[in-house]
Amino acid sequence: MTRPRNPVVVARWSELADRRPAHARVAETDLVVIRDGEVAHVLHGQCTHRGALLSDGQIEGNDLVCAAHGWDYELSTGVSRTDPCERIGRFEARVDAGANTVTVDENAVRAWLAANPSVFDDGELSV
């Protein structure tokens, strides 16, 4: 695994409950962090359907499921199993158990956001 060029801490490893989504924010972008055993998944944190925070969702099998309307996204790809045309950003996460951190590359988050501007802002999240 490569090290992030501009690493930013998105979670404390010991504070992440296994398979329970947690909210993080990088570059004014909502993210969802999921600990899955010894692996961390970091995905864009808003559902493509109505912008609901995915950190309010739950894990079912290998999917993150939005609490608002049940839209699903595969943890390893960010692609919806229900509608493969729908996908959320996925960011390479680095776990450093010794430092108790999960990091992502802030530059990667900014690049993804520039290529995929959100149609939802914090004032428009809807359930």
pLDDT tens per residue across span 83-109: 999 999 999 999 999 999 999 999 999
The Cα 63–Cα 104 span in angstroms is 20
Angle at 58 between CA 52 and CA 63, to 5 degrees: 95
Q: Please state the separation of Cα 65 from the chain's center in Å.
A: 12
- Which among 88, 75, 76, 101 has a CA at the least distance from the CA of 8? 101
Rounded to two decimals, the pTM is 0.90
Domain boundaries, the chain: 7-115
More confident residue, 66 or 118: 66
Q: Is 33 exposed, middle or buried (0-12, 13-18, 19+ CB in 10 A)?
A: buried
The secondary structure of residue 121, as a DSSP letter, is: -
User: What's the confidence (pLDDT) of residue 115?
Assistant: 94
The Cα 96–Cα 99 span in angstroms is 5
| CATH code that applies to domain 7-115 | 2.102.10.10
The Cα 117–Cα 12 span in angstroms is 28
